[in-house]
Amino acid sequence: MSSKVSTSNTVSSPADLRNVVLVGSSGSGKTTVFEALLKARITGYRGERDDSERAASLTLASVATGNVVINLLDAPGHPDFVGELRAGLRAADAAVFVVSAADRIDNATTTLWRECRAVGMPRAIVVTKLDAEGSDYDAAVDACRALGDSIVPAYLPLRDADNTITGNMSLVTKRVHDYSSGSEEVREPNDVENAQMDAYRSEFLEGVITESEDDDLMERYLEGEDLAIDSVRADLLTAIAHGRFHPVVPVQPANGVGVEELFSIIENGFPHPGLHPLPTVTSVDGSEILPVTCDPDEPLVAEIVRTTSDPFAGRQSMVRIFSGTLRTDDVVHVAGHRNVFTGSEDAAHPGHDEDEKIGPLSFPVGVEMKQKASAIAGDIVLVSKLTRAETSDTLSARDRPALVEPWKQPEPLLPVALSAASRHDEDKLAGALARLVVEDTTVRLDRPAETDQLLLWTMGQAHIDLLLARLSDRYGVHVESEPVRVAVRETFVAPIKAHGRHVKQSGGHGQYAVCDLEIEPLERGAGFEFVDKVVGGSVPRQFIPSVEKGVRTQLEKGTISGHPLVDVRVTLYDGKSHSVDSSDMAFQTAASMAIKEAATTKTVALLEPIEEVTVSVGDEYLGAVMTDLSNRRGQLLGTDSDGDGNSVIRALVPASELSRYAIDLRGLAHGSGSFTRHFRGYETMPANLAEGYLARD
Domains in the chain with CATH codes: 14-275 (3.40.50.300), 281-404 (2.40.30.10), 414-482 (3.30.70.870), 489-600 (3.30.230.10), 607-696 (3.30.70.240)
51 pLDDT higher than 80: no
> What are the two backbone dihedrals, phi and then psi, of residue 490, each rounded to the nearest 5 degrees?
-115, 160
Q: Which of 40, 80, 81 is nearest to 63 (CA)?
A: 40
> What are the two backbone dihedrals, phi and then psi, of residue 106, each rounded to the nearest 5 degrees?
-95, 175
Percent helix, strand, coil in the chain (nearest 5)?
Answer: 30, 30, 35
| Beta bridge partner(s), residue 458 | 414
pLDDT at residue 570, as a whole number: 97
How many Cα atoms occupy the beta-carbon half-sphere of 525 within 13 Å? 6
pLDDT at residue 2, as a whole number: 39
Q: Strands 94-100, 123-128: parallel, antiparallel or unpaired by DSSP? A: parallel
Give, in order, the Cα–Cα distances in Å from 241 to each of 87, 208, 321, 357, 589: 21, 12, 21, 37, 77
Q: Which of 429, 448, 432 is nearest to 347 (CA)?
A: 448
**In this structure, are residues 154 and 208 in contact, taking their beta carbons and an 8 Å threshold?**
no
Rounded Cα–Cα distance for residues 515 and 547 (Å): 8
**In this structure, are residues 659 and 416 in contact, taking their beta carbons and an 8 Å threshold?**
no
478 pLDDT higher than 50: yes
Four-point Cα dihedral 534, 539, 540, 545, nearest 10: -80
Give, in order, the Cα–Cα distances in Å from 517 to each of 31, 510, 570, 584: 71, 23, 6, 17
**In this structure, are residues 19 and 92 in contact, taking their beta carbons and an 8 Å threshold?**
yes
Q: What is the mean pLDDT of residues 195-206?
A: 89
181 pLDDT higher than 70: yes
Q: What is the mean pLDDT of residues 144-172?
A: 89
The 568-576 sheet, strands edge to edge: 496-504, 511-521, 568-576, 528-532
Task: Quote the pTM value.
Answer: 0.87
Q: How confident is the model at residue 507 (pLDDT cuts 50, 70, 90)?
A: low
Length of the chain measured in residues? 697
203: left (phi over 0), alpha (psi -120 to 50) or beta: alpha
Query: Is residue 86 classed as helix, strand or coil in its secondary structure?
Result: helix
Q: What is the mean pLDDT of residues 661-690?
A: 91
**In this structure, are residues 240 and 204 in contact, taking their beta carbons and an 8 Å threshold?**
no
Other beta carbons less than 10 A from residue 683's beta carbon? 15
222 pLDDT higher than 90: no
107 vs 576, higher pLDDT: 576
Rounded Cα–Cα distance for residues 251 and 36 (Å): 10
- Residue at 429: amino acid letter: L
The 165-170 sheet, strands edge to edge: 155-159, 165-170, 176-178, 185-187
**Choice among 208-222, 353-367, 635-649 with the minimum mean pLDDT:** 208-222
> What are the two backbone dihedrals, phi and then psi, of residue 666, each rounded to the nearest 5 degrees?
-60, -40
pLDDT at residue 149, as a whole number: 73
Rounded Cα–Cα distance for residues 300 and 295 (Å): 9
pLDDT at residue 3, as a whole number: 40
**In this structure, are residues 214 and 205 in contact, taking their beta carbons and an 8 Å threshold?**
no
1 pLDDT higher than 70: no
Positive or negative torsion for Cα 667, 668, 670, 676: negative
**In this structure, are residues 259 and 252 in contact, taking their beta carbons and an 8 Å threshold?**
no
**In this structure, are residues 85 and 408 in contact, taking their beta carbons and an 8 Å threshold?**
no
- Residue at 1: amino acid letter: M
pLDDT at residue 298, as a whole number: 96
Q: How confident is the model at residue 618 (pLDDT cuts 50, 70, 90)?
A: confident
Q: Which of 276, 319, 275 is nearest to 301 (CA)?
A: 319
135 vs 33, higher pLDDT: 33
**In this structure, are residues 215 and 91 in contact, taking their beta carbons and an 8 Å threshold?**
no
Residues 6+ apart with CB under 8 A from 231: 217
pLDDT at residue 8, as a whole number: 56
> What are the two backbone dihedrals, phi and then psi, of residue 50, each rounded to the nearest 5 degrees?
-105, 110
Q: Which of 112, 124, 52 is nearest to 467 (CA)?
A: 52
Burial class (CB in 10 A: 0-12, 13-18, 19+), 71: buried
pLDDT, mean over the chain: 90
**Choice among 271-275, 283-287, 407-411, 499-503 with the minimum mean pLDDT:** 407-411
Rounded Cα–Cα distance for residues 69 and 212 (Å): 25
**In this structure, are residues 502 and 575 in contact, taking their beta carbons and an 8 Å threshold?**
no
Q: Which of 515, 493, 489 is nearest to 594 (CA)?
A: 515
DSSP 5: P
Rounded Cα–Cα distance for residues 114 and 310 (Å): 36
7 pLDDT higher than 60: no
Rounded Cα–Cα distance for residues 247 and 36 (Å): 19
**In this structure, are residues 24 and 18 in contact, taking their beta carbons and an 8 Å threshold?**
no
Rounded Cα–Cα distance for residues 276 and 343 (Å): 27
pLDDT at residue 5, as a whole number: 46
> What are the two backbone dihedrals, phi and then psi, of residue 482, each rounded to the nearest 5 degrees?
-145, 165
Q: Which residues of 382-421 are buried (b: 16+ CB within 10 A; e: fewer)?
A: bbbebeebbbbbbbbbeeebbbbbbbebbebbbbbbbebe
**Choice among 190-194, 340-344, 390-394 with the minimum mean pLDDT:** 340-344
Rounded Cα–Cα distance for residues 649 and 583 (Å): 57
**In this structure, are residues 98 and 31 in contact, taking their beta carbons and an 8 Å threshold?**
no
**Choice among 255-264, 308-317, 680-689 with the minimum mean pLDDT:** 308-317
How many Cα atoms occupy the beta-carbon half-sphere of 76 within 13 Å? 21
Rounded Cα–Cα distance for residues 176 and 169 (Å): 4
